[in-house]
Amino acid sequence: MFAWFLFDKRIEFKDNKKVRKTDRWLQLPFSSLSTLFIIIISSFFLVGGLASVFGDKDISSGLPMLSIGLSVIVLTAIAVDHPKIWFSDSYNFEDDIERINNTAKENFPAYQDGVFSYADNSFTIQLDKEIKTINWDEITLITAYKIDQFAYDCIVIEIHLAETFITINDQTAGHMKFMDTATDKLTNFKNDWFPVVAFPAFETNLTTIYEKQTADNEKGRH
């Protein structure tokens, strides 16, 4: 049951809300994933101790095993649940935001050219099997949504053309620079798209970021 809660991201343990680094009490030298193995090993001590005490009637050896197993399980649960005890993979969202705000965008792969290159009226993208050049006015629609990949969410961006579409995601090198460039190149581009798609977590949050205005679109507005 503890292992299920630990790996089910919909169970809101307090370790999802760890305090900022400056306020933490303790940094443990292992990841939160390691607690699963600690619990499993401690369970063997617990079961062995119970077997010794109630099965073999050997209290002198069973009681220490019981105490060790139960103590480690309780301490591990406290460490997982306590907001001021960090693991090597713990993080605080506000710390991440501060780090990002204090770092030039150009230092992040997402804000570098990546698989894209740019000209005045077009951009080029390196796909798996081809290099494709697209004029900005060829884009008819850009949408974004999240895919639940159990351990984390993946933000997917679809760039629609007249007869096809291209898919990139938040692991595509240069995707944020592309979106920033599209903001300048495309009219009525939804500048605040990222928080709309990213939050709340674990939801698809399908969002239309850009839709090319046509005569039919304009008629529909009237």
pLDDT tens digits, one per residue of 116-139: 999 999 999 999 889 999 999 999
The mean pLDDT value of the chain amounts to 87
Question: What share of residues in the chain are helix, strand, coil (percent, to 5)?
Answer: 45, 20, 35
pLDDT of residue 169: 96
Same domain, 217 and 109: yes
Query: By residue range, what is the domain housing residue 45?
Result: 2-97
Choosing from 97, 130, 148, the residue where a domain stops is 97
Three-state DSSP at 173 gives: coil
Helix, strand, or coil here: 146?
Answer: strand
pLDDT score, position 91: 81
Last residue of a domain, one of 43, 74, 97: 97
Q: Last residue of a domain, which of 40, 67, 97?
A: 97
Number of domains in the chain: 2
* List of residues 6+ apart from 40 with CB closer than 8 A: 3
> Per-residue pLDDT tens for 166-215?
999 999 999 999 999 999 999 999 999 999 998 887 889 999 999 998 75
Same-domain status, 162 and 184? yes
In a shared domain, residues 109 and 47: no
Do 131 and 171 belong together in one domain? yes
**93 and 114 share a domain?**
no
Q: Does 142 lie in the same domain as 77?
A: no
d(CA 184, CA 191): 10
Return the CA Rg of the chain: 26
Residue 75 — very low, low, confident or very high, per pLDDT cuts 50/70/90?
A: very high
Mean pLDDT value of segment 13-24:
73
- Same domain for 42 and 70, yes or no, is yes
Whether residue 149 is found in the same domain as residue 59: no
Same domain, 93 and 118: no
